[in-house]
């Protein structure tokens, strides 16, 4: 009876170990996919930042050609945002 009981416990432990191993492997795959997603997102954000900087430079150049004070326009927008927040 002692060996049968021990064999049963070893079998249960083996089953548990297999389940845990499968969970760990699944988590490892999820983490790998998440790292890929984060990396892709970082690349997209960097591209958007570069594009935004280019657009800002173009807008500032156009504004300067037309005599528009971009600093004053931005200050007016900030003031309007503050007024909206107070309302």
Per residue in 46-76, pLDDT tens? 999 999 999 999 999 999 999 999 889 888 8
What confidence tier does 84 reach under pLDDT thresholds 50, 70, 90? confident
- Dihedral sign for Cα 35, 39, 44, 46, please: positive
d(CA 21, CA 24) in angstroms, rounded, equals: 5
In this prediction the pTM is 0.61
């Amino acid at each position: 009876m002692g060996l049968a009981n021990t064999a049963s416990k070893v079998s249960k432990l083996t089953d548990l170990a297999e389940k845990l191993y499968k969970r760990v492997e699944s988590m490892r795959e999820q983490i790998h996919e998440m790292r890929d997603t984060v990396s892709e997102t970082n690349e997209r954000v960097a591209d958007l930042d570069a594009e935004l900087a280019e657009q800002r430079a173009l807008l500032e150049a156009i504004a300067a050609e037309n005599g528009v004070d971009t600093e004053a326009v931005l200050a007016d927008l900030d003031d309007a945002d503050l007024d909206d927040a107070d309302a």
